[in-house]
A and B are shown apart, each in its own frame.
Chain A
Amino acid sequence: MLADDDPDIIEVVSIILEDEGYEIVTASDGAEALEKIRSEDPSLVILDLLMPNVDGFAVFNALHDPAYERWSQIPVIVLTSVREEVSKRRYELETGKGMGYAAYLEKPADPDLLVETVASLLL
């Protein structure tokens, strides 16, 4: 599943990953992402952090919630323009917990790196 509020990012990432044979479900904000995680049960989540309404940080927090226990181990690739150490610090300050993502890619990410990262997590 791919969550990003920028339709162009959705388009670019979808083309790259569909070319590799992956099936993509998309969400345009955190609320939709959580809904789709429940309904579509994806094997991997690619998550933008800064989104309107419910942001990516809140999605992370929700995945720690017992209601999402089934999906607590789902690998998450963060794909964002926020720098990694800044995100980590903000999340820790706000929740007192670590983010626990599988990979962190800063935008603009290289397509090869994205494909490689997804492939390594879905082995």
Chain B
Amino acid sequence: MTLDPRSIADKAPRPERHVPVVVVGAGEAGVAAAVAAARGGAQVLLVDEHPVDNDMMAMDVPLYFGQRMQESVRNRALMMERVVEANPGLAEAHEAGVDVQLGTYVWGAFVNGPSVRELPGPMLGLADDRRSWLVGYDRLIVAAGARDVVLGFPGWERAGAMGAAGAHALLTRYRALASKRMLILGSGSLALATAALALEHGIDVAGVVEVGDAVHGEIGAFPTLHGVPVYLSHTVKEARGKVGEVESVVLVQVDAALEPVVDTEREIACDTICWALGLVPNVELLHLVGARLLFASSRGGWVPQLSDVMQTTAAGVFAVGDCAGVRGDRATAREQGRVAGIAAAQSLGANLSPLPARRRAEGDGPAVHAYWQQWLQSLVHVGGWEVNVCQCEEVTRRELVEVKPPRYLKWDSPQMNARSLETILGDGPVNQDQIKRLTRAGMGPCQSRRCREQVGLLLAQSAGTTIDRIPLPSFRPPLRPLPLNVLWPADEPPAMREQWVSWFGIPTQFSPHWEAGMAIAEPTAQTPLILSDE
């Protein structure tokens, strides 16, 4: 029996190449994993999205760059040089025989499952500035790192409001941070390290702001910070400046109830305000391959469930480094990478000496969400409810918790006005995806990187629950906002392209129901499909 020419059977796109081990992310953990797997005899591809192009940076993807990039980031060749120079691990990986591809995004993962059975094997969707392609793999090691948690205040849309991870990347990888004077929010190890790094690069640090009444990190470990003002029990009232720019920040003192104290405002001149409250594991790729994720506040939120060798619950998929749980500790990241790299190579038949048991000294930090919640409460008390929680779609805190339809619809009805988080809670637990569909919060081009956590925290707070009880909002491919001309499948098989308007040739599909003889005893496959334009 020949196949119906219109059937999609056997037309699934083939990967353009197959690599036994693919490692995503070339930080400490990813490089260690790639090197270990290659030394174990496996063929390894290591991809990293840096240097990302200027347009992507301007959308705060993948990190919160806050428009504080220098013009030089437009020079791709120069940025490629700098990214390579900044990461000695890349040379090490290259020497170990790893195929290293920089400036390469992972935008999708395609694996067989209950509703997909026809793929030739698991595949990743990759892309660079020009095109996208598929790569098949046997083992996938995800070392995707972490991103900043950011919380809104009046003026947080201005250029110069950025995240610590974005600042670190621009300072150390790109050497292209356009900042002269930076105010830092938070006082944990991330904040203090960011302050020290800024000073080291000749940036003036205007101060470290902490909503609590004590510094969280060990400030003594950063001698260069001596003399930097520390504002305890303070929060941000507003960022000010000429159109679209941060030129100063107004701080205000808060009391034990996180309410503003009258007449304590102070305006601090700075061109950059940097969130350094903590990091969130980048689990979007792990979510796409179906790895089970668990909530662990001490590791930054949703993290993969892992075996002793860093294997997730998804077949052949490992997670290492900050995306497996934020620890911010390079030695742990390297060790995790090494363990996963060896395990991946071993599972492919490499004859390696047995693994050392993974060190259980996890070094989990304190639970971070209560701290973020504290910051958010102070910002709500001081800044009010008319502050945007979602910049892309301009959804305010009030519109979010009152579950208002998007403003541009100009849709005002008693029915809609009666709807609120409270009435929705009557139908079941709060669900961030549902709230997104109703309000558009999180639907914009930054792919909810700037609002995901604050939307979750606000919903939890307003619903009187804790954020671990709010299900993980979904991630969908493409995981990066890629241009259509890049994502466009240039390699689509002609057989698929010719027939893309239909899935099967069903001769009777568009027959009127009153015509006799539709029921089939023996279907005929080759009868032409009736198309309306024929």
Specify whether A and B are partners: no
